Amino acid sequence: MASMEKIVSLCKRRGFMFQSSEIYGGFGGFWDYGPLGVELKRNVKEAWWQDMVSSHNELLQPVGAPSGYEMVGLDSTIIMHPQVWKCSGHYDLFHDYMVDCRETKKRYRHDQVRGRWVECKDQKVFVTSNAEIEQEDAEIQRRALKFFRLRGKDADQLKYDGGFATLDTIDDMDRVLGPDAKQIGTLTEPREFNLMFKTTVGALGGDDDVAFLRPETAQGIFVNFKNVLDSTRVRVPFGIAQVGKSFRNEITPRNFTFRSREFEQMEIEFFCPPNQSQEWYRYWRDRRVAWYTELGLSGDSIRMREHHTEELAHYSTGTADIEYAFPFLDEGEFGELEGVAHRGDFDLRSHMEGKLDPSTNPLELETDERGKPKYRGSGRDLSYRDDLTNEKFVPHVVEPSAGADRATLAFLCEAYREDEAPDEKGKMQTRTLLKFHPRLAPLKAAVFPLVKKDGMPEVAKEIYGELKQHLPVFYDEKGAVGRRYRRQDEVGTPYCITVDGQTLQDQTVTVRDRDTLEQWRVSTKDICDEIRQRIRS
């Protein structure tokens, strides 16, 4: 797979992504999408909406689904009533722990580092101990286990591997790493840090006016559950989908757009009867993996990872991460593209009944008979009555929660190729191409006149004008035609159409395929249909 540097450089050179506020030196964790990037990301979101929302109806039963189902959309606000975040648990629990390296002053997320850095045989090794992990509270343990599991290890047998080592006790360091090991950094105690961005609403801006930018789109769906039920004719099982911006004040934004502070999510809350929820969980998990593979992520680069029981949030009976082997990760490592979670009735119940005081009960926040909720819920009845069976229940929820930016980045990384192809003189040259699925390609075709004379530009512009009514296409008459092909390969345009001398005689043009380099002739009157048909398939 190509190095991340090459991909980042192509993104900037050809206008996919730029650092936000670059002329002022950039702003950590914020990214802008340029002219081609905005098209690519829009195509990702549109493919998701088309495949997950528009193409569904309760009369149609998709393969693998327990039944047909309705999907509807929503566009809720970024800033919501602060009580939403108290009842959802984000106000008290949506935090990371941060630690600073005392020597280098670098800041880390605590779930990534616990222990100390040592230098050993020219390698920087991070050492932690099982004992240290075990001392932590359950939440940190869960996160630490998740972190090590990502590297495919079991908690009780973590061994030195790829820059990370865990030992039975930290005193074992010398024995295991040898006398050369030198400690180069120690970390401060972890401090809690809430990831929600704060803002104030209204002119006075006092403490009572504090509001938050949403850290996920999901809560907008839960609080509108009743509105959607009452204003449409949807029946459980059904899903509500939303695409929109979310904000998290990440401690260490990094890896290009993978971990940003402002990003877009594509989320579905799927409401179903409790006794069908496991079947629906399995359906969504598999459907979502299939979606990524249908659009080009394939083979060993994508995997689905079911969470172990101890990693699960307390309300969840099943969660799976869909992960991709991003090139900035070490060999064998994967990064999360999407989480598919069985959330039970946790969210709807929290917005109905409220939350317990997290200071007395930090991890078991759902309401039970034992105490009064610290945060009062809405008091609204968010249960559902089935009009056929007359059964009343609080629906269970399956949540496929994807990141539009991470998906876009994964499609970009997967598409990036370098191969050898002959230039116009027949000499083999290295060619850079983005092998996007035609549905995702920012430009679907480019139209070139072979030369700027003999009426070729006129014919080419006519074809361009006609195609442009239906698809994003590009017109280019500058430079050698071989160079023009290369420029289109580099941004992933699947087809190039060239008007040449023969066109003027027999009204046919050359079509060139980006991937196979195959060329064939099509009559000018059929060219639009031909391209549109190929893009759809």
Q: Which residues are annotated as a binding site for substrate?
A: 109, 216, 263-267, 399-403
DSSP assigned state of 248: -
Cβ proximity to ligand ATP, 251 vs 382, nearer residue? 251
Find the binding residues for ligand ATP in span 202-221 (CB under 6 A). Answer: 216
Chain centroid offset of residue 71 CA: 21
109 counts as binding ligand ATP under rule CB under 6 A? no
Among 92, 338, 347, 476, binds ligand ATP (CB under 6 A): 338
Strands 428-434 and 182-186: unpaired
Q: Report which residue's Cβ sits closest to ligand ATP.
A: 403
Identify which of 317, 371, 366 has the alpha carbon closest to the alpha carbon of residue 346. Answer: 366
Among 263, 292, 315, 448, binds ligand ATP (CB under 6 A): 263
Identify which of 427, 400, 145 has the alpha carbon closest to the alpha carbon of residue 292. Answer: 400
337 counts as binding ligand ATP under rule CB under 6 A? yes
Identify which of 306, 310, 288, 305 has the alpha carbon closest to the alpha carbon of residue 297. Answer: 288
> CA 274 to CA 151: how far, in whole Å?
34
Cβ proximity to ligand ATP, 185 vs 400, nearer residue? 400
Cβ pair 238, 70 in contact under 8 A:
yes
What is the identity of the amino acid at 285?
Answer: R
The least distance separating ligand ATP from the CB of residue 260, rounded to whole angstroms, comes to 4
Cβ proximity to ligand ATP, 29 vs 457, nearer residue? 29
The least distance separating ligand ATP from the CB of residue 257, rounded to whole angstroms, comes to 7
- Tally Cβ neighbours within 10 Å of residue 362: 14
The CA-CA-CA angle for residues 147, 282, 321, to 5°, reads 20
Q: Which stretch binds ligand ATP (CB under 6 A): 148-156, 343-351, 396-404, 518-526?
A: 396-404
Among 39, 70, 323, 336, binds ligand ATP (CB under 6 A): 336
What residue numbers does the annotated binding site for ATP cover? 248-250, 258-263, 336-337, 403-406
Using DSSP's 3-state secondary structure scheme, residue 172 falls into helix
Among 213, 325, 402, 481, binds ligand ATP (CB under 6 A): 402
142 counts as binding ligand ATP under rule CB under 6 A? no
The CA-CA-CA angle for residues 252, 255, 256, to 5°, reads 110
Task: Tell me the per-residue interface mask from 163 to 182 with ligand ATP, x by CB under 6 A, - otherwise.
Answer: --------------------
Bond before 237 cis per omega within 30 degrees? yes
What is the identity of the amino acid at 85?
Answer: W
347 counts as binding ligand ATP under rule CB under 6 A? no
248 counts as binding ligand ATP under rule CB under 6 A? yes
Q: Where on the chain is the footprint of ligand ATP (CB under 6 A)? A: 216, 248, 250, 259-260, 263, 265, 336-339, 401-403, 405-406
